[in-house]
Amino acid sequence: MNPAAQPSTDTADSTPKLSAWEVMFKDATNAELKLAMAASGTILSLFTAGHMAGNMQVYLGRKHYNDYAEFLRTVGAPVLPRNSVLWVVRIGLLASATSHIMAGTELTLRAMRAERHTVQSTVQDLKLQLTGKQRRRLAADVARSPRSSPAPCAPRAWCSACSRPTT
């Protein structure tokens, strides 16, 4: 008997295989994803404010700035090795940025699916919007030109008869 013709008794083969992305977010609700974005965004904003305040110490003088840099490397020094807290902060920032981007991407994809948009249709819509902006800008340029009556299909203008860009 041909093994390919035998009916499959394994039920695991009949279930659709999920991608890693789908496995990661299949149970997450929109509220949970928004909460993850809010938390990670808060962490990133606090880091940005703290980083800016630390960099402003350059105006207090070289010694003060170097002392601040040494403090960042030796924080927790009696108990923890040098640079350990700095690496924990770096890893936390990387995790926050990754979480923020992934949650935002998943929320965007869910919204697009709910509105029955595809990535291709969204790109097409953006191209059409850009084309409309270009059309208005070029029409305004032609109206400001010193010519009294521009030709209907002048270079770098939109033809009013066919609504296409001319070359």
**Residue 155: closest CA among 133, 138, 140:** 138
pLDDT score, position 13: 59
pLDDT score, position 154: 47
pLDDT score, position 116: 82
- Domain residue spans of the chain: 19-117, 124-144+151-167
pLDDT score, position 109: 87
pLDDT score, position 16: 74
Q: What is the pLDDT along the chain (167 residues), one digit of tens a residue?
A: 455 555 555 555 567 777 777 777 878 888 999 999 999 999 999 999 999 999 999 999 999 999 999 999 999 888 989 889 999 999 999 999 999 999 999 999 888 888 887 878 877 877 777 666 666 776 666 666 655 444 544 445 555 555 555 55
pLDDT score, position 127: 75
pLDDT score, position 122: 78
DSSP letter string, 90-110: HHHHHHHHHHHHHHHHHHHHH
pLDDT score, position 123: 78
- 109 near 101, Cβ under 8 Å? no
For residue 165, report the phi and psi dihedrals to the nearest 5 degrees: -70, 140
The rounded radius of gyration (Å) of the Cα atoms in the chain is 29
Q: Provide CB contacts within 8 A for 142, sequence distance 6+.
A: 150, 154, 157, 158
